[in-house]
Chain A
Amino acid sequence: MRVDVWITARVVTAAATLAVLTVIVFWATEVLPGDAVGVLSGPTATDAEREAVRLALGLDRPALERYLEWIGGALRGDLGTSLVSGREVAPLVGARLSTSLAVLVPAVLLIVTLAGTLGTAAGLRHGGRLDRWLSGTTLGLIGTPDFLIATALLVLLTAWWPVLPAVALIPPGQSLWSHPELVVLPAVALALGGFGSTMRLLRASVAQTVTTPFAEFARLNGVRGHRYVWGVVVSNALAPAVMALAVMTAGLLGGAIVVETLFNVPGMGSELTQAVAGRDVPLVQGLSLVLGTMTLLLLLVGDVAAKLLHRHAPATSGGHR
């Protein structure tokens, strides 16, 4: 298939998935037990007071009507207003996304650096001492829950050797982007928890590429050093690692709940858990929709990047072109 046709088809699939996702998100919030009326009214409100809250929130209208209104608004960039605080959802989600990205971007850069160098080094000499040591370490990190990594960092860098703030306290009117010192701990915690799987995939892929007849041919023809590593091995081995990185990044965007909670980073994940607990349906929907869209986008970028890498790479043992 031609690449441009493939990419178009992939974009259309992503758009269709997004459309299905909106229905699922809306349906999921409908079947969530209870609603904001119960949460807001508290345990001792009278029935009349509960009914008044329900009317005020517009929860007495049919679900389909509310879905169409929501989706219509979303297309115009209006995600409604929070049932709990009465604030507009769209700017709130925007702020949370920006905060999440402030931690995620450095974390992913760290992951790419660590996974790229260590994965390539281990794969080139697979079975060697470095490879064995890295395998053990990364397996250990992959198996360690986020909260343990985060707690260990807290003990190390805020209690024993207090060089970094324990909790991200952002002054009013400022964003996390202007406070790199607040980003270090959560970003490192995310990177340590996340780089293992990407590194191991790249290592396996590099190790496999090194043994292909193609790589052997290159070596026999005197291709050495950087030309060999980058031109022959890495460019050929990168595709699966890029896809893995895309999947992991998408996961970290909304799934960094533990790290966000422990370091008080007001990001997408912690906001979503609080919104679910408060039955703040428009906020849950807005956050889920944006997370879903971002995830689909990241996966799309990952797929397209992998496809392009494959296209330019010389034949591998699998013989894909």
Chain B
Amino acid sequence: MRRLTAAGIAPVAVSLVLVGCSAGPEPGPGPEQAAAPVTTTGGALRAAFAGGSTETLNYLKGPTALDYVRARLVHAPLCELDPSAPEGVAYGVVEQIDVSEDLAQYTLHIRDGVTFTDGTALSAQDVLYSLRAPVLLEGLPFTRLVARSFDLDAATVTDPSTVVLPTLAPVADGRELICQSMLAIKDGTTEFTPQTPSSGPFTIAAFEPGQSTLLERNDDFYGPAPTLDEIALVSIADGTARVNALRQGQVDYVSGLSPAQAQTLEGESEVTVVTSDLPYASYQFFSMNLDVEPFADPRVREAFKLAVNREQIIENVYFGHAFEGNDVPALGFRSYDTTLEQRAYDPDRARELLADAGQEGMSVELTAGPELPGMVETATLLVEDLKAVGVDATLRELAPGQLFADYPAYLALPFKVGYSPPALFEPNYTPGTFPEVDVLVQTARSAPTAQERLEASHAAQRLLWEQGNQIAPVFVPAISAASTAVGGVRELQFPDLSQATVTR
């Protein structure tokens, strides 16, 4: 999947997915219009993202959400995550992925009739190159998910429409890995310019990093033809400025709003605010370092989890635009264990546990930074909750971008905030902390039957729920807003504007 980098590209928060502007004029819970206006073909959509001068057409190196949103419009996806589909994915230029019995080999079947803008047909060779590109072109670590589980050097093209991909070790979730963010590029592509051959629904007519991109419809696109003639992706770094631009009608759609900004737009008649649906919400967690003495005691960890008033965070920090977390990741994904009891808010029990552990009045400093909307505010409330159960808690707030900038220093902190974008639990789990969980996750990825895999995954999640070192009070969705004239925006991990419509 595409990872949001921690960069001060803070607005990367943008990226949080904005789900739900379903096609049609009435996305979200807003007042329905009496009669749906007729959607006209053509037209132009102006969409604003945080962007910044770091914008680049090389989406493998692009750190901002806008880079991927644009790339997704210009380069056709191999396939996409679709938690509701039987195989968990929706196919694109790859029309089918078969998995061998032993989970050691994946066979990708390439769709016929897909062409690049230079007129050549997309072949299995192009798909194999697309899979290898993150490594060959030195893409950022978060683009290399496939390379971590598959032996790309040993992959072969067996005929013009088939790629055979061996795994490094048997995995059952390979389809999801391949479909998380892989886009089709032409074999041998080494640089990305507006002229680089592409296969997506739009082509680049003009690009000015940090200012705007003008996209025009690609009439030779193999898939469902876009309605829009043009999309202008504009870069507006500041959230308030994005809201102002939307209010004044300078843009039709804005991404990456803070809960407070969304609150100011709620109730305006010409604007619809949309919060992304699960599973597209970021996992925000507070990590307790097991190497630091008080946190080695599981009673202290449980006390901290019980001390948190999650309802209050959802209401006061997110104005209701957040999902209650249960201290395990991947809420909304298929293997998420919904049978786990929701962690209660129980300050009395927390106080007892701390007393049992001999840690009443313990001191702790929580380090937080504004890497995700509401992160520092959530940390502030958490510190207050801890004080209420007798912990001498303090908050250390970092400047934007500083939290992950010195990663070893970050890891060594005793108590800190972190997040990961919406992603499957098993392939993104970092081993090394709880050996028992490591084994279970391994089983959850490679056991021969789906039932065994699911049971192992649930067992791993239960262990993390009971003994884990992460407090996850909320999952943070992305918030976007659009003029009521806009419809058809698919809010996946990043907003997909390819089927958007504008009624004027």
Contacts and interface: CB of A to CB of B under 8 A. Distances in A.
Interface of A: 33-35, 37-46, 49-50, 52-53, 56, 82, 84-87, 92, 96, 154, 158-159, 162, 165-167, 169-173, 261-264, 266, 270-271, 273-274, 276-280
Nearest to B2: A42
A41 B420 contact: no
23 contacts: A34-B402, A34-B407, A38-B406, A39-B7, A39-B405, A41-B5, A41-B141, A42-B6, A46-B148, A50-B141, A87-B209, A92-B53, A165-B248, A166-B247, A167-B242, A169-B211, A169-B250, A171-B214, A172-B214, A262-B240, A277-B401, A278-B401, A280-B54
Interface residues of B, number: 61
Given A38-B6, A92-B53, A274-B8, A158 B420 contact: no
Nearest to B371: A43
Contacts of B388: none
A38 B234 contact: no
Contacts of A46: 141, 148
B190 interface: no
A38 B7 CA distance: 9
Contacts of A53: 140-141
B53 A85 contact: yes
A166 B6 contact: no
B399 interface: yes
Given A41-B141, A42-B142, A278-B8, 20 more contacts: A33-B402, A38-B6, A44-B420, A85-B55, A85-B56, A96-B53, A166-B248, A167-B245, A169-B212, A169-B234, A261-B238, A264-B236, A264-B237, A266-B53, A274-B8, A274-B52, A277-B7, A277-B10, A277-B402, A280-B54
A145 B399 CA distance: 21
Interface in B63-94: 63
Nearest to A83: B54
Contacts of A277: 7-10, 399-402
B61 interface: yes
A176 to B, nearest CB: 10
A45 B142 CA distance: 7
A305 to B, nearest CB: 34
A298 to B, nearest CB: 24
A279 B6 CA distance: 11
A162 B399 CA distance: 35
B53 A274 contact: yes
Contacts of B53: 85, 87, 92, 96, 266, 271, 274
Contacts of B251: 169
Interface in B207-245: 207-214, 234-238, 240-242, 244-245
B241 A262 contact: yes
B206 interface: yes
A280 B61 CA distance: 14
B406 A35 contact: yes
Given A166-B244, A167-B241, A172-B214, A42 B3 contact: yes
| Residue among B207, B210, B399 with the highest chain A CB neighbour number at 10 A | B210
A165 B251 CA distance: 11
